[in-house]
């Protein structure tokens, strides 16, 4: 059944009350422009007039939460629509904090539970990562449950990438014990034709990083009296993998486990620097 533009608008308006935030980006006068913006407590959108070069056609949207984070009882649900030939960046000014729940009041953030619908010539970057908490203060993976779901569908309902990360306290071992010294886990998805060269470079960089890390020298002793066996068994502080997905490898997924937040920032800053021409500024700069 076909729907007119006005029918689609009425349908969207009828859903607004059930959502915390809705955003639509369309072409207006040849530029990517926010044409519809709605948010309510505990969510707020900030849309700067321009980020980076005026020659770059990209809309930047920052999400904020009242109270400095997601507090007990908060539930955030967003729906973002980016029209053909438009570019949008949805980000935050800092990491999103999730504070302790009180009683049965859970805390959650839903980005249409991170479901992305794309067409063949769409380009998409997803950076999804979590830290253990304030581990300098002894707060390490101290929560009952964390679940992050990222699903990408191609041309409607064709599954392209289905992924879920689940961290849950167990009866035998807890999350902190299973994570050992790793304080960060992250996933980066790069998809689409505009990111072709960046994908190739990231794949090569990850391959080189891990080959250098796993390289065993030919001599029997390492500096300070360490043997090959000691070197082989040493726990790496930064582990990263990269694999392709989709028809003809149109997308790649990078997975990271790291002992420090700073190392992940540096990795993202370096690997995504090539996006400056698309977005106006380099991510994580």
pLDDT in tens, 209-232: 988 876 655 444 444 555 555 555
- Whether residue 152 is contained in a domain is answered as yes
Task: Report the chain's mean pLDDT, rounded to a whole number.
Answer: 83
Return the pLDDT at 127. 96
Question: Looking at the predicted structure, is the pLDDT value of residue 141 above 60?
Answer: yes
Query: What's the pLDDT tens digit per position in 29-88?
Result: 999 999 999 998 888 999 998 787 778 899 999 988 776 666 666 678 889 999 999 999
Q: Structural domain tally of the chain? A: 1
Contact at 8 Å (CB) between 100 and 72? yes
- Structure tokens that stand for 112 in this block: 């249409």
- Whether residue 202 is contained in a domain is answered as yes
- Whether residue 8 is contained in a domain is answered as no
pTM of the model: 0.79
Which residues make Cβ contacts (< 8 Å) with residue 97, sequence separation at least 6? 68, 69, 70
Contact at 8 Å (CB) between 246 and 191? yes
Per the structure, the complete domain to which residue 145 belongs is given by: 20-214+236-279
Which residues make Cβ contacts (< 8 Å) with residue 191, sequence separation at least 6? 118, 122, 123, 124, 125, 152, 161, 246, 250, 251, 252
- Whether residue 53 is contained in a domain is answered as yes
- Whether residue 101 is contained in a domain is answered as yes
- Whether residue 184 is contained in a domain is answered as yes
- Whether residue 151 is contained in a domain is answered as yes
- Whether residue 228 is contained in a domain is answered as no
**For 99, which DSSP code?**
P
Which phi and psi angles does 243 have, rounded to 5°? -145, 150
Separation between Cα atoms, residue 126 and residue 107, nearest integer Å? 22
Pairing of strands 59-65, 88-91: parallel
Pairing of strands 43-46, 59-65: antiparallel
């Amino acid at each position: 059944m076909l729907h007119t533009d006005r029918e689609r608008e009425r349908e969207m308006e009828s859903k607004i009350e059930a959502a915390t935030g809705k955003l639509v980006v369309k072409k207006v006068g040849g530029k990517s422009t926010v044409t519809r913006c709605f948010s309510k407590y505990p969510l707020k959108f900030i849309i700067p007039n321009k980020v980076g070069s005026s020659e770059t056609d990209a809309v930047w949207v920052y999400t904020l939460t009242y109270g400095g984070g997601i507090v007990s009882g908060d539930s955030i649900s967003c729906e973002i629509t980016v029209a053909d030939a438009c570019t949008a960046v949805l980000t935050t000014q800092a990491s999103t904090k999730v504070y302790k729940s009180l009683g049965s009041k859970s805390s959650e953030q839903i980005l249409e539970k991170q479901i992305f619908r794309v067409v063949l010539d769409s380009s998409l970057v997803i950076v999804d990562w979590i830290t253990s908490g304030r581990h300098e203060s002894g707060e390490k993976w101290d929560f009952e449950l964390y679940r992050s779901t990222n699903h990408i569908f191609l041309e409607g309902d064709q599954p392209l990438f289905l992924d879920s990360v689940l961290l849950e306290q167990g009866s035998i071992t807890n999350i902190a014990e299973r994570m050992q010294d790793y304080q960060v886990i992250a996933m980066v998805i790069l998809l689409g034709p505009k990111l072709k060269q960046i994908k190739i470079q990231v794949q090569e960089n990850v391959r080189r990083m891990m080959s250098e890390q796993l390289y065993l020298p030919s001599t029997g002793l390492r500096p300070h009296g360490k043997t090959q066996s000691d070197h082989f068994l040493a726990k790496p502080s930064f582990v990263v993998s990269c694999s392709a997905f989709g028809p003809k490898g149109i997308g790649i997924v990078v997975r990271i486990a790291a002992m420090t937040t700073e190392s992940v920032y540096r990795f993202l800053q370096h690997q995504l620097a090539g996006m400056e021409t698309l977005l106006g500024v380099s991510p994580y700069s």
